[in-house]
Chains A and B, each alone.
Chain A
Amino acid sequence: MSNDPTEKKRFGWLRSKDKAAEVETAAAAEPVEQPVAEIVAPLETSDAPEPVAPKKRSFFQRLKSGLARSSSSLSEGITGIFTKAKLDARTLEELEDLLIMTDLGVETVTGITAKLAKDRFDKEISSQEIKQFVADEITRVLDPLAKPFEVNPSYKPHVVLMVGVNGTGKTTTLGKMAAREIASGHKVMIAACDTFRAAATEQLKVWGERAGAPVISAAPGADAAGLAFDALKQARDESVDVLFIDTAGRLQNKTELMAELEKIIRVIKKQDETAPHSVLLVLDATTGQNALSQVEVFKAVTDVSGLVMTKLDGTARGGILVAVAAKYGLPLHAIGVGEDIDDFQPFEAAAFSAALVGLDGLDGGINLDAIEVSV
């Protein structure tokens, strides 16, 4: 019996609910992972300087640990239900429930479980198989869409417009992307077209400094479209390779704000008919089914060319991305897994879905085969 306190915390909310009781007991019975990521806090942190301890871990490790954290509870849940059991209606229903908790959405989930039922109903099935099945299904949907963001050198500059709802992480993502492009030898310019939110420009300037890119800005409340126009002009004059344009966050149901976004694009097109060459919609992994509506509306207004999903370093699993991908078929460029300049990773379908259902085992903790043998 494991008494890992972190595990208890994670399951605390399940524990209170009767239905999940068997899931929880099964999960608790396993010799559970020791998540490396859960660094023990310094005990006397009165004024400790930012204790971001795992600086030395490689980027890949950090991504994995980020995703693994978000997937481990689902993983344990599935293992709990399916450790050597016949696939019956009740277990299917519980699988459905677990998948729903990843924000996959009812439709996607019923699709997956129906397929599983068709193949394997009333047959012996192990948790490993079930995870593999689910992960494969998700990978099948996502894989054709995983396309890293690439600058097209034939555009001078390649104009990238960042759009999304408030607080999804547009500015942070832009900062990380700018740093990447500079690292790969491109000449980058940033336009701070969020003239609405207080200190948005200042925030972007800090990112520009970190990345080493000039930031074109205007006074607060200035016309965002006019600023975009000026920035593009300057970028063309200075033959910049990539121009990143940050925009203010807006809820997709605010018609007037969406019209403002349309105006920015219209104005950009006055100089370059082909621009913006990329419109990146930034989605927050904690967002639920509303992401579908976000994609639909932003796509209609701005012709979104690709998606970035942020905040996958928390407990959210970002399952809604699967529903979004299935419905809109938009390229998935990258994921954000932290606040550092290099916490940014091209989207990999297999890694994402494996992490979503807890197949990766790369975190040093989860070893499913071992778990199954021991149960």
Chain B
Amino acid sequence: MFETLSDRLNGVLNALTRRGSLSEADVAAALREVRVALLEADVALPVVKTFVDAVRERAVGAEVLRSVQPGQMVIKIVHDELVQMLGGEIDPAQPLLNLNVAPPAVVLMAGLQGSGKTTSTAKLGLRLTKRENKKVLMASLDVRRPAAQEQLRILGADTGVATLPVIEGQMPVTIARRAVEAAKLGGYDIVILDTAGRVTVDEALMQEVADVAAETNPVETLLVADSLTGQDAVKTAEAFNARLNLTGIVLTRADGDGRGGAALSMRQVTGAPIKFLGVGEKMDAIEAFDASRIANRILDMGDVVSLVEKAAESIDVEKAEKIAAKMKKGTFDLEDLAEQLRQMRRLGGMKSIMGMLPGMGKMKKQAGGLDMDDKVLIHQEAIISSMTPDERARPKLLNASRKKRIAKGAGVQVQDVNKLIKMHRQMADMMKKMGKSGMKGLFGGAGGAMPDMGALQGMDPQNALGQMPDLSKLTGPAGGLPKGMGGLPGLGGPGLPGLPGTKKK
């Protein structure tokens, strides 16, 4: 999501940055482009107008024209306004969902047909169970779509989240009442009610969902909306907001290549914040939404915080610490590399990591639609798996015949094995070097920083092309990891949360 919008905006704004001074006409011309870019990204027209007006007002004012770097200033304004439009900075002290009521807390999910309510319900149920240790009960009130209740039951069984037993022929309000009753009796903390999809002009159905809300008094009423939605987004959001007291929005299919206009519109129209993004087919593919990070991503400033957060969640800290210790000593062997590869895959693979790094959108573009292939990681793991423990510990053992055997075992070419060994050697060398110079600061306590990430970040986008040869290796069946990435997952030591992000170019 957001990539094309990001490209367009960056094109427009880059033209501004190069200029020493800006006239009002320059700004106006740029803003016309911004307007079209936003409209093509499906941002709703009224929202676009408000946005452009707000930017113009600030940009044409003294704030920009007199600043030292007017172009940069405009970008900052666009960024600020984007954040504003997306719902402002998140207050980390505020919980995402307000569940601080006498249990069971009712969460109501509503939306159009096919927006992803049932899937989002199950994802949310799993997230609350896993991350917040809540006892969750899910109930489907969808008596219209064939097998909708069955769908939620299966998802519940798969994720291990309880679902309300289905009683044929019951109507939504009755089911809702029964769900709350069952939750009280069963000692559940949260009840998530999944409703049927409905068009907003269907008065009877809109009344029905309002009745359910009136009956169950939900603490959270979430509108589930497709991020591929066009101009209709505002009408839908408004219509639901008029009948239900929306407390938040779940934006689904954010992993598509839509431009995310709906995200930019809905908050503005409903006043309800976007709380979650659905980012994949798997049941754990749901993320908290943070306006400022998304704005950064749109303007291609990267999303290092997301990456770090994800890393913190999926990386096995103990193992990472062990590897870090080994790096320090310079005894980083192939077994450790394999562990790193595994952790990397857990992070969602190359594509997802690259997507979150600053400047990467541009680099990908310049590489001509370079497709990050996660098979590389799998192949590399396979190569290491095909080695004996001895070989893994002492790569020096690897002679031609051993390599041949390994290549056969992993189903790759011998040169792929060579590439992997070379990559490991380079990494180990680098680690050793770093171990000598300031390694302490890198892995100890709060100052945890990834040297290579830092290098990537500081990279001037204009020079990004120069880095491409490294990256392009990735497309081969078992090419080397870009040097900057190799060291990434292993760094999951205690210092993780303090990662770069702030040291922007």
A residues near B, CB below 8 A?
9-10, 12-14, 16-17, 19-20, 37-42, 45-53, 69, 97, 100-103, 105-106, 165-169, 172, 196-200, 202-207, 220, 251-255, 284-291, 293, 311, 313-317, 319-320, 339
Q: Which residue of B lies closest to A15 (CB)?
A: B46
Q: Which residue of B lies closest to A19 (CB)?
A: B49
Contact A286 B281 (CB under 8 A): no
Main secondary structure of the interface of A (DSSP, over half): loop
Interface flags, B24-62, vs A, CB<8A=1, else 0 = 000000000000100111101110011000000000000
Which residues of the other chain, B, contact A19 by a CB distance below 8 angstroms? 46, 49
Stretch from B125-133, B147-155, B380-388 at the A interface: B147-155
Q: Does B239 contact A (CB under 8 A)?
A: yes
Contact A106 B199 (CB under 8 A): no
Report, nearest first, the 4 A-B pairs whose CB atoms are least far apart.
A288-B230, A167-B114, A206-B146, A288-B42
Q: Does B12 contact A (CB under 8 A)?
A: no
Known: A166-B116, A311-B112. A290 touches B232 (CB 8 A): no
With A45-B208, A48-B204 already in contact, 9 other A-B pairs whose C-beta atoms are closer than 8 Å: A13-B234, A16-B46, A103-B42, A169-B113, A199-B151, A253-B256, A286-B230, A288-B228, A319-B231
The residue that B207 contacts in the complex, of A41, A169, A286, with Cβ under 8 A, is: A41
A-B contacts, 26 listed (Cβ < 8 Å): A12-B242, A13-B46, A13-B234, A14-B46, A17-B46, A41-B204, A42-B204, A45-B208, A46-B211, A47-B173, A101-B44, A101-B231, A103-B231, A105-B40, A165-B256, A167-B113, A198-B155, A199-B151, A200-B147, A251-B256, A287-B230, A288-B233, A290-B230, A315-B235, A316-B230, A320-B230
**Shortest beta-carbon distance from A69 to chain B in Å:** 5
Contact A199 B201 (CB under 8 A): no
Contact B151 A317 (CB under 8 A): no
Contact A46 B173 (CB under 8 A): yes
The residue that A40 contacts in the complex, of B36, B143, B144, B203, with Cβ under 8 A, is: B203
Bound state CA distance, A204 and B150, in angstroms?
Answer: 12
CB-based A-B contact count at 8 angstroms: 199
Bound state CA distance, A107 and B321, in angstroms?
Answer: 54
Known: A13-B235, A199-B147. A314 touches B199 (CB 8 A): yes
Contact B204 A69 (CB under 8 A): no
Q: Does B181 contact A (CB under 8 A)?
A: no
Q: Does B238 contact A (CB under 8 A)?
A: yes
Contact A288 B229 (CB under 8 A): yes
**Shortest beta-carbon distance from B337 to chain A in Å:** 25
Bound state CA distance, A133 and B228, in angstroms?
Answer: 30
Known: A9-B242, A315-B236. A166 touches B253 (CB 8 A): yes
Bound state CA distance, A266 and B322, in angstroms?
Answer: 48
Stretch from B257-265, B293-301, B482-490, B493-501 at the A interface: B257-265
Bound state CA distance, A351 and B77, in angstroms?
Answer: 45
Contact B211 A45 (CB under 8 A): yes
Which residues of the other chain, A, contact B230 by a CB distance below 8 angstroms? 103, 286-291, 316, 319-320
Contact B236 A106 (CB under 8 A): no
Which residues of the other chain, A, contact B36 by a CB distance below 8 angstroms? 106
